[in-house]
Chain A
Amino acid sequence: MTTTVPGPGRSPTRDRPAPPRRRPLTLRRRESRAGLALVAPTLLVTIAVIGIPIVWTVVLAFQRVRLATLRKTGLFGEFTMDNIDRVLHTPGFAETLWVTLIYSIGGTVGSILLGLVAALVVRRPFRGRTLVRASMLLPYVAPVVAVTFVWQVMLDPQLGIVNAWGQRLLGWDTPVPFLTQESTALATVIVFEAWRYFPFAFLFLLARLQAVPGELEEAARVDGATPTQRFRHILLPQLLPVIALLGVLRFIMTFNKFDDVYLLTGGAAGTEVVSVRVYEFLTARTDIGAAAAQAVVLAVVLIVFVLIYLRFFGRRVG
C-alpha cells in the first residue's frame, strides 16, 4: 500500500477512456498498483478460504479418501472414478436430486409470491408502516436454529399449537405429524422456506416499487385503468426484471440450503436434499471422497440449471 500518492489534480475517476497503446502514464500505473494493493487482502482471503477449497473438493471427488485414512492420503494421490460412480449408483440419488429440485422451485416461487404481495400492501404509507415493515423482516434475520425449533414445536403432534387448534376448531380427528410423515413433510419444509425467505424478495421488490414513477400510474388511472389493470400493465412489467433476478438468486440459495432441512426434519420423511446427503456422507459415513463427489454433482447440476434459466429468461426479460 505504498506509492499511492497521486499528484495534485489527479482525478480518481473510474470511467476514463481506455489508455492509448503507447507507454502507460505513471499516474495510471500508480492507480493500478494502488488498486491491486487494496484489493489484495480480499483476494487472498477469498482464494485461501474459498477458491482453494473448491478446487480441492473437485480433487477429492476423484480420490479414495476416508477420514480414517486422511493422514496417509497425499493431495495428488491415485485418481479414481469410484466416488462419482458410487454416488450416482447409490440408492436414493435420483430421488434426492428430485426432492432438491422440488424444494428449490417451491421455495423460490413461494418466497417471491409472498414477497410480492407483502411489497404491494406496504407500498403506500399508513400508520405503523415502519413497524409492519420491520416485523416482516423478522423471519429472515432471526437465527435459523431458533425459528426451526419454534416451527417444530408449533407443529408438534402432542403439544403443538397448530394441532391443538386444528383439533379444537377445524375438527381434525387425529393430530397431524407435519414434519415426520411422508405426505406432508416436504410441503411443510417448502412452506417454511417461503416463510423464512419472503422478506428477501420483499426488500428487493419494495425498493423497485418505490422507484416506479408516480406519473405512470397516474396517467393510467386517468385513462380509466382499474387497480388490477394498473398492476398488470404498469407495475408488473416494471417488476419483472427484479423478479427474474430474484428467481435465479433464490433458486441458487435454496438449492444449496443445508440448515433449514437438516434442522427441521434431518432429511427424514422424503425431505433429503443434496446438501444434507453430502453432510451425511461426510460425518456419518466419514467417506470424504463420496461427500466431495456428491458436492461436485450438486454444483454441476446447479450450474446447468442456472444456465438454462439464464438462456430462458435472459432473452425474455433482457
Chain B
Amino acid sequence: MDRDMVETVSLRWLRRLVIAVFLLITVFPFYYMLVLSVRPIERLLLDPGALVVGFGELTVATYAEVLKATDDGGQGFLTFIRNSGMVAVAATVLTLLVAIPGAYAVARLRFFGRRQVDFLFLAVYLFPSIVIAIPLFVVFTRAGLRGSLFGLVLVYISQTLPVSVYMLKNYFETIPVSLEESAAIDGAGRLGIIRRVSLPLAMPSIMAVALYDFMIAWNEFLFALLFLVDKPDRWTVSLGLSLLADGVEVPKTVLMAGSVVLTLPIVILFFASERLLTEGLTSGAEKG
C-alpha cells in the first residue's frame, strides 16, 4: 500500500471517529442537563455516574418548583420567562426598525461619512461591553432606569444593533442593483423601492437577523445582572437562574430544570431555523 492509500483509508476512519467525538462533546452536556433535571436529588447523590433515568425515579417535581410562583413556594420562573420574552421581543423589533434603514443606507446610498459609519459599527461591535456598562450603570442609577425593563431593552438594542447592521448590509449588497433600477424607472420613490423591492428580497436575511437578535437578548447576562439585581419581579430567566445558584441550598437537579427552561426556547428556535441562521451569519464571510 502506498502512502496515499494509507492516508485515505486511515483518514476515512479517523473522520468518522472525530465526528462521533464532536457529537458527543456538543450534545452530551445538554443530554446530561435533561437527565439530571428529571432525577430526584437523592438518587443523584447515590449514583452520580448514571446516564439513564429509571422509570421509577422519573420526576417532574423539579420543574414544578422552578416554575411555581414564589408565593406558592416555587422559584417564580414563569414571571422570568415573561420578562425575558418581553425584553427579547422588544429589543428585536426595535433593533430591526432602526437597523434595516441604516443597513440599506450603508449598502446602497452614497452619503457624507458612509465609510466612517461602516467602520464605526465594526469598532463598536468589538468594544468591551464592560466599558460601556460603567457609565450606563451610572446614568441608569441617576435617571431611575435601574430596575426597569425598558432600560434593559435600550441596552440590548445597543448590543444587537452593530451586528444586525453588519449582517443586513452584507445581504443588501448582494441584491442586484438592476432590480431597484427597474422599480425606479417604473416611478417608485426611494421608500417605495425599499418597501416593495429590497425588503421582500431581504426577508430571509431579516428573519435570520431577528432570530439572532432574539437569541442575544434572551441569553444576555451581564447587563441584566447590573441593572435588575435589586428587583426580583423583573429578573430575566438568565439572571433568575444564576441567582438561584447563589441563594440558599437549592438542589442541583432544580438548577438543571431551570437550565432546561432557559435553554429549550433557544434550542427549539435554533433547530427550526438552522439553515437560515448558519447561512445568514456567514453570508459575506466568504469574501475574505
Report which A residues bind B (CB closer than 8 A): 1, 4-6, 8-14, 16, 28, 31-39, 41-43, 45-46, 49-54, 56-57, 60, 65, 67, 70-71, 117-118, 121-122, 130, 132-139, 141-147, 149-151, 153-154, 156, 158-161, 163-165, 168, 195, 203-204, 206-208, 211, 224, 226-228, 241-242, 245, 249, 252-253, 255-256, 258-259, 263, 275, 278-279, 282-283, 288, 291-292, 295-296, 298-299, 302
Between A and B, 15 residue pairs with Cβ closer than 8 Å are A13-B177, A35-B109, A36-B105, A36-B111, A42-B99, A50-B124, A142-B219, A143-B218, A147-B29, A156-B252, A160-B48, A228-B11, A256-B129, A292-B134, A292-B135
Query: Measured between C-beta atoms, what is the minimum distance from A150 to chain B in Å?
Result: 5
> Do A137 and B274 contact each other (CB < 8 Å), given the known contacts A35-B110, A49-B157?
yes
Asked if B161 contacts A12 (CB within 8 A), the reply is: no
Q: How far is the CA of A104 from the CA of B141 in the complex (A)?
A: 32
Q: Which residues of A sit under 8 angstroms from B92, Cβ to Cβ?
A: none
Apart from A135-B27, A144-B221, A279-B222, 20 more pairs, CB < 8 Å: A9-B185, A28-B110, A35-B105, A35-B110, A39-B111, A41-B102, A46-B120, A53-B131, A60-B134, A132-B22, A141-B266, A142-B219, A143-B263, A143-B266, A149-B241, A151-B29, A154-B32, A159-B45, A227-B4, A256-B130
> Do A12 and B109 contact each other (CB < 8 Å), given the known contacts A134-B274, A137-B270, A227-B8?
yes
Question: Nearest chain-A residue to B47 (Cβ)?
Answer: A164
B285 within 8 A of A: yes
> Do A70 and B105 contact each other (CB < 8 Å), given the known contacts A56-B135, A195-B25, A263-B242?
no
Residue with the highest number of chain B CB atoms closer than 10 Å, among A8, A135, A206, A302: A135
Q: Which residues of A sit under 8 angstroms from B19, Cβ to Cβ?
A: 121-122, 132
B112 within 8 A of A: yes
B174 within 8 A of A: no
Q: How far is the CA of A299 from the CA of B131 in the complex (A)?
A: 8
Q: Which residues of B sit under 8 angstroms from A211, Cβ to Cβ?
A: 286
Asked if B26 contacts A138 (CB within 8 A), the reply is: yes
Asked if A143 contacts B98 (CB within 8 A), the reply is: no
Report which B residues bind A (CB closer than 8 A): 3-4, 7-8, 11, 15, 18-19, 22-23, 25-27, 29-30, 32-33, 36, 44-45, 48-49, 51, 97-99, 101-112, 114, 117, 120-121, 124, 126-139, 141-142, 154-155, 157-158, 161-162, 165, 177, 180-181, 184-185, 187, 189-191, 193, 215, 218-219, 221-222, 226, 237-239, 241-242, 245, 252, 255-256, 259-260, 262-263, 266-267, 270-271, 274-275, 277-278, 281-282, 285-286, 288
Q: Which residues of B sit under 8 angstroms from A139, Cβ to Cβ?
A: 26, 29
Q: Which residues of A sit under 8 angstroms from B130, Cβ to Cβ?
A: 256, 258, 275, 278-279, 295, 298
